[in-house]
Amino acid sequence: GAVVSQHPSWVICKSGTSVKIECRSLDFQATTMFWYRQFPKQSLMLMATSNEGSKATYEQGVEKDKFLINHASLTLSTLTVTSAHPEDSSFYICSSRHPNTEAFFGQGTRLTVV
DSSP-assigned states of every residue in 42-83: S-EEEEEEEETTS--EEPTT--TTTEEEEEEETTEEEEEE-S
Residue number, 19 or 48, with CB nearest to other proteins? 48
Nearer to other proteins, 2 or 68 (CB): 2
CB of 24 to other proteins, least distance (A): 13
CB atoms within 10 A of CB 18: 11
53 with 70: CB under 8 angstroms? no
Least distance from other proteins to the Cβ atom of residue 16, Å: 26
CB of 111 to other proteins, least distance (A): 13
Q: Which is nearer to other proteins, 7 or 85 (CB)?
A: 7
Task: Please give the residue ranges that form the binding site for other proteins (CB under 8 A).
Answer: 1, 4, 6, 32, 34, 42-44, 46, 49, 91, 93, 95, 100-108, 110
Write the CA distances from 8 to 31, 55, 60, 100, integer angstroms: 22, 23, 26, 27
